[in-house]
A and B are shown apart, each in its own frame.
Chain A
Amino acid sequence: MSLKFTALVPGLPHLLHPIPGSPHVHLSATMQKLGDVIRDQGVQRILYYSSQWLSVLGTMVQAKERLSGTHVDPSWHHLGSFDYDMTVDLSLSRQIAQCATVAGYSTQLIDYEGFPVDTGTIVANSLINRDNVKVSMISSWLYANYNQIKDFATVIGAEIAKDPTPTAVIGISSLSGNYFPTDIDPREDRISASADDEWNRRIIALCEQGVLSEVDRLAGDYSKQCRVDIDFKVMAFLRGIGAAEGHKRSICHGYQPIHGTGAAILEFRP
């Protein structure tokens, strides 16, 4: 089994240089600790699936060997510029694209200078992958539903399982997505609505208890009620790829707000 580590993490840029006294400090530190765990487990490559990399014409898989540059989040541009430098595991990317294509999914390998890497992947990689192991990344196909993404990920998971390279799969998504529509003091950040907070805690508790089929069942309502990023399809991906298998308990390392949204760090036991 090559799947060594799997987690769901947030991907907003507030975590890269968190304001002292804000809840983002804890999230940022926890993600860095997660990176230490990944290193200790001998992970040699990380596969990212971010709710912030959207594709329309099927699925995209990153296939540019070196991704480097300076990133500014379009929405949170005042939080600064973030340098990134990643090495892509081309063989993994090609393997993913090939098996998805064979299974009938429209899939594109992306190999372009200047192609925009999404904020979520940059945030997660900066905090988790400080040893700079090779990475791959798959886009979120906007028009697929939860079950289609789960099925798609199952195909990818089967392919990864054939390869003995120790691999981590990181899903990047917010939980509830209701932002505060105005600027706030990050030190006073909180979940924007109590109903969102209740939903988030319910979903986290189900993950902790290992009742993931119930998470699948609730994903639609949860997304609708709380505006979860891309209808919580990041969880569908994790479920399909085998990162969050039923009845295995998950560990919640942190749950905090980011500008009113819900952000959790959930480690799944593969």
Chain B
Amino acid sequence: MPNLKHGQILGGWLAPHPPHLVYAENPTQNEPRSRGGWEVLRWGYDHCRTKLKEQRPDVILVHTPHWQTTVGHDVLAVPKLSGLSVDPIFPHLFRYRFDLQVDVELALGISAEARKLGLTSKPMTNPDFRVDYGTITSLHMMNPNWDIPIIALSSNNSPYFHDTKVAQDEMIKLGIATKNAVIQSGKRVVLAASNSLSHLHFSAEPNPELPEDMSREHVFSQSQYEWDVRVLNLMRSGDVHGLMSIMPQFIDEACAEVKAGGLTWMLSAMDFPKTPAQVHAYGNVIGTGNAVVEWDLTSHKKGITP
């Protein structure tokens, strides 16, 4: 039976995923314990948690750079996944027991729409799949109760295999495919781009005895900071055209993690909104630049609809 009620994208979040943020919060799901740390970024995520409680979306979609797929843009499509996710880089900080529900119907829709647009895409249907820490960190920070179904999209390695231009073009198509599938689904959806901004980091933990030693945390370099602020100001002013124009340079000069495509995907799915974004927090984690940023499409209109 056709779905007569059109779906909506309610908004999108830049939702960085340093595992330090989960570690610092000491949730029951994560085994290591901390004394806190990175509070400003975590307070930024509080805005997201509050907003999601108000909006009650049907699904949260996240694009993650830490599920890399060689062939195509794959979509998580197993109804329920649980297990232990250990960060391969920071295992002393992140050993998280996850238990999540996936909206398989919408996942299949996104994958099908992507194929219609000429992209290679497969639903990921293996029930033994281990969900990556990028997906888990962003989603935990957004909604620690995990009471909203999710969908994770992989990052195809096209930025590394081809070049930034080809990769960004693919992500624009993936965004369109996502939007089309959401509209057809009749569901209310929130998007998340699981990315840091500048991504150069320290080559060793400044204080291995106390990873949350905030006296040792700072931005990797002034030029990285200036790049992050430049990008955030474009977001704050709603200059999405300017943002997209400098994206390749930002990627090259700041080693920005947006290279993986999540931000472009999200902006494309939201029709490149000129809505000023709200920067809820900016902070550094082991030298990288991270911001919690919201595009609220419901504040000016009723989300992306046909």
Contacts and interface: CB of A to CB of B under 8 A. Distances in A.
B130 A78 contact: no
A77 B85 contact: no
Given A58-B204, A113-B95, A182 B126 contact: no
A59 B162 CA distance: 29
B205 interface: yes
A259 B70 CA distance: 10
Contacts of A70: 128
Nearest to A83: B128
Given A81-B128, A116-B88, A76 B204 contact: no
B128 A75 contact: no
Most buried by A among B88, B126, B154, B162: B88
Given A110-B91, A112-B86, A113-B95, A179 B70 contact: yes
B72 A182 contact: yes
Interface in B55-99: 67-72, 74, 83-86, 88-89, 91-92, 95
Interface string A161-199: 000000000000000001111110000000000000000
B124 interface: yes
A74 B67 contact: yes
Contacts of A71: 128
Interface centre among B74, B89, B132 (most CB of A within 10 A): B89
Contacts of A213: none
Given A77-B126, A182-B120, A57 B71 contact: no
Interface residue tally on A, bucketed by range: 20 to 34
Contacts of A127: none
Nearest to B74: A77
A42 interface: no
Contact of A75 (B68, B88, B92, B161): B68
Contact of A115 (B68, B88, B154, B205): B88
A54 interface: yes
A209 interface: no
Interface string A66-104: 000011101111101100000000000000000000000
Interface of B: 67-72, 74, 83-86, 88-89, 91-92, 95, 120, 122, 124-126, 128-130, 132, 154, 158, 161-162, 201, 203-205
11 contacts: A74-B68, A74-B69, A75-B71, A78-B122, A81-B126, A112-B86, A115-B88, A181-B70, A181-B71, A181-B72, A183-B120
